[in-house]
Amino acid sequence: MAPRANWKGYLRLSLVSCPVALYPATTDAEKVRFHQIHKQTGNRIRYRKVDEETGKEVEADDIIKGYEVSKGHYLDLTPEELEAVSLESTRTIDIERFVPRSEIDDLYNIRPYYIAPDGKVGMDAFVTIREAIKATGNTAIGRFVLTTREHMIALDPRDKGIMGTLLRYPYEVRDEKEYFADIPNIKIDKEMLDLAKHIVETKSGHFEPDKFEDRFESALKELIKKKAAGEKIEAPERPKESNVINLMDALKRSVEAERGAGKTKPAERRAPERRRKTTAHSQRRSTAKKARKAG
């Protein structure tokens, strides 16, 4: 059964619209979670909302939002006042334009959602919008309100539905120059670059997420199992990292390590095929030679 929808409303392309539901495409439900407990009593720790000055607990109905205009001074805003900024996009994912997927920088992606029809009404309209997006070969960009904030969303056909990816606004993305400006322009020695490229080649393959293994999560579950069984938990000895100063030596060692791990170069993988072709060619020549002698 599908999880509960995070949002329900309408998907609209110009004058065509249909009711849809938006579901989280990812989950952390299977991850190990911890609670904070009191070390002495083992009781669960709970947080309460208290007045900063009086220290008294405040009821939920007495809590409103406030904007800090200066240190310690707030401009309070009631739910009714916040309704004044209610947008048309509150209940509608409105498609505004279509852009090449390749132009969307990964930095702007926040999180993915599945978008599916909400009920049987408007099913034809949903499929029409999905196929229209697919026909363009581009990604649809829309906007809507989720949890009181307006978001931009990228829409792509996926199987029978649509995948929506929340996008960041430009003011949420930091300029990379702040972090990369001090990296010098260094000319790499050709031999070192060739060694590095060889290592990359031996590690190249296809994206296979089903082979991903969360080793920390597995080790954590094993630790909890041992602790519950009363076993003593001891940290294993970690091998010390060797500080290799010479980059060329490090690259050569890496190449040797990859070879020792049973990795074969593409050229080596092609060798048997070349040998088969050479053998077949030799056999054809031998047969032709015998035929000439017989003639």
Residue 230 within any structural domain of the chain: no
Cα–Cα dist 178/174, whole Å: 8
SS3 call for 293: helix
Whether the per-residue pLDDT at 9 is higher than 50: the answer is yes
Which pTM was predicted? 0.72
Cα–Cα dist 291/293, whole Å: 5
Higher-pLDDT residue of 132 and 272 is 132
Q: How confident is the model at residue 283 (pLDDT cuts 50, 70, 90)?
A: low
Q: Please, which residues have CB within 8 angstroms of residue 32's CB and are 6 or more apart in sequence?
A: 217, 220, 221, 224
pLDDT of residue 272: 45
Residue 141 within any structural domain of the chain: yes
pLDDT of residue 249: 83
CATH number for the domain that contains residue 111: 2.40.290.10
Question: Are residues 275 and 154 part of one domain?
Answer: no
Least confident of 69-83, 118-132, 156-170: 69-83
CA-wise closest residue to 109 among 139, 163, 153: 153
Question: Are residues 23 and 127 part of one domain?
Answer: yes
Question: Are residues 118 and 14 part of one domain?
Answer: yes
Q: Provide the domain count of the chain.
A: 2
Question: Would you say 168 and 110 are in contact if contact means Cβ atoms under 8 Å apart?
Answer: yes
SS3 call for 116: strand
The range of the structural domain enclosing residue 150 comes to: 7-28+85-172
Question: Are residues 106 and 23 part of one domain?
Answer: yes
Residue 15 within any structural domain of the chain: yes
Question: Are residues 18 and 123 part of one domain?
Answer: yes
Question: Are residues 274 and 149 part of one domain?
Answer: no
Question: Are residues 22 and 157 part of one domain?
Answer: yes
Q: Please, which residues have CB within 8 angstroms of residue 154's CB and are 6 or more apart in sequence?
A: 101, 104, 109, 139, 140, 141, 164, 165, 167
Q: How confident is the model at residue 54 (pLDDT cuts 50, 70, 90)?
A: very high
Question: Would you say 166 and 110 are in contact if contact means Cβ atoms under 8 Å apart?
Answer: yes
Residue 12 within any structural domain of the chain: yes
Question: Are residues 258 and 128 part of one domain?
Answer: no
Q: What is the mean pLDDT of residues 68-83?
A: 85
Whether the per-residue pLDDT at 94 is higher than 70: the answer is yes
Higher-pLDDT residue of 111 and 275 is 111
Residue 293 within any structural domain of the chain: no
Question: Are residues 168 and 251 part of one domain?
Answer: no
Question: Are residues 259 and 121 part of one domain?
Answer: no
Instruction: Kindly tell me the burial class for residue 62, based on how many C-beta atoms sit within 10 Å of its own C-beta (0-12, 13-18, 19 or more).
Output: exposed
Question: Are residues 273 and 166 part of one domain?
Answer: no
pLDDT of residue 233: 82
Place of tokens 């916040």: 82
CA-wise closest residue to 9 among 160, 134, 116: 116
pLDDT digits (tens, 9 = 90+) for 56-67: 999 988 988 898
Residue 57 within any structural domain of the chain: no
Q: Would you tell me how many other CB atoms lie within 10 Å of the CB of residue 81?
A: 11
Whether the per-residue pLDDT at 88 is higher than 70: the answer is no
Q: What is the mean pLDDT of residues 238-256?
A: 75
Question: Are residues 163 and 268 part of one domain?
Answer: no
pLDDT of residue 243: 63
Determine the residue type at 70.
S
Residue 165 within any structural domain of the chain: yes
pLDDT digits (tens, 9 = 90+) for 150-162: 999 999 999 999 9
Average model confidence (pLDDT) for the chain? 84
pLDDT of residue 241: 67
Residue 64 within any structural domain of the chain: no
